[in-house]
Chains A and B, each alone.
Chain A
């Protein structure tokens, strides 16, 4: 499904901002996620413990290039990540603006071209822009990750119509909604639109009960996917009685 890897769960979970490593582990397990995102940073005091935790989670790792603002930074970070995490998967973020954390599409395409040529399996964090999506595919990407809303904002799908158009425009490309998801219902909405997966972090990590929220997201994403596969009814402008009129008593 994603770069030749079949997954059971359609939830990908970030590992940052949890109250404790133990809660992170429990949240991963409760969510059912098989892919977790990680980063590269100057090592703090708990670096060794985090490596042990990653091994314990038994998840596939998706390293990110979070915080990179240029092609050079992102490419160097990706190369470092491939070596230290032992995977060619990379969540490519090239940030264009510090406040919105909006991707810089021009630098993103350029970095994607460099990394795809070096054999990386690139998961580009992009917008719902169709032409940027096409350029990323031309650059060698096999997956696209449009944002739902700005990272960490919890606003959900800010442009559902644009995402629906993107889904229709790239029917055969795995599409993952990444970032901005705040509630399980928003994740379900993305799945009902036909997206292949959802990637989120803050909504679980910053919940009052992260483990409970992780479970809720896992179920919402599964329900949304099942709804999509079952085929949603068409929306109507007017009411349409569901109970038959035939056989209605005359009581007036």
Chain B
């Protein structure tokens, strides 16, 4: 399945958002997630299924003004 992860098209075997985070090597407790522009809480990642072409954002704490 091909999905969009942080603006890059990638091929993934992951069925859920939680699977995707572990497949891609994210530290799941240190990131926030959104699917198709909607926030997905940490507790809902394992039940959030990914469809072909879905847009996933995985964001981290960074510098800001």
Contact = CB atoms under 8 A, between A and B. Distances in A.
A39 B64 contact: yes
A18 B64 CA distance: 11
For the side of the interface on B, what is the size category?
A: 20 to 34
Contact of A15 (B38, B57, B65): B65
Interface residues of A, number: 35
Given A41-B60, A80-B59, A64 B34 contact: no
Given A42-B57, A72-B37, A84 B63 contact: no
Chief secondary structure at chain A's binding surface: mixed
Nearest to B27: A48
A224 to B, nearest CB: 21
B61 A80 contact: no
Given A39-B63, A40-B62, A51 B37 contact: no
Interface in B47-64: 57-64
A84 B32 contact: yes
Contact of B63 (A17, A48, A85): A17
Interface in A34-51: 37-44, 47-48, 50-51
Interface string A72-97: 11001001110111000000000000
Nearest to B62: A41
A84 B65 contact: no
B64 to A, nearest CB: 3
A14 interface: yes
Interface of B: 6-7, 26-27, 30-34, 37-39, 41-42, 57-65
Interface of A: 14-18, 24, 37-44, 47-48, 50-51, 54, 63-64, 66, 72-73, 76, 79-81, 83-85, 151-152, 201-202
Given A15-B64, A39-B63, A80-B39, 14 more contacts: A14-B64, A17-B65, A38-B64, A39-B64, A41-B62, A42-B7, A47-B61, A47-B62, A48-B27, A48-B30, A50-B61, A80-B34, A81-B32, A152-B65
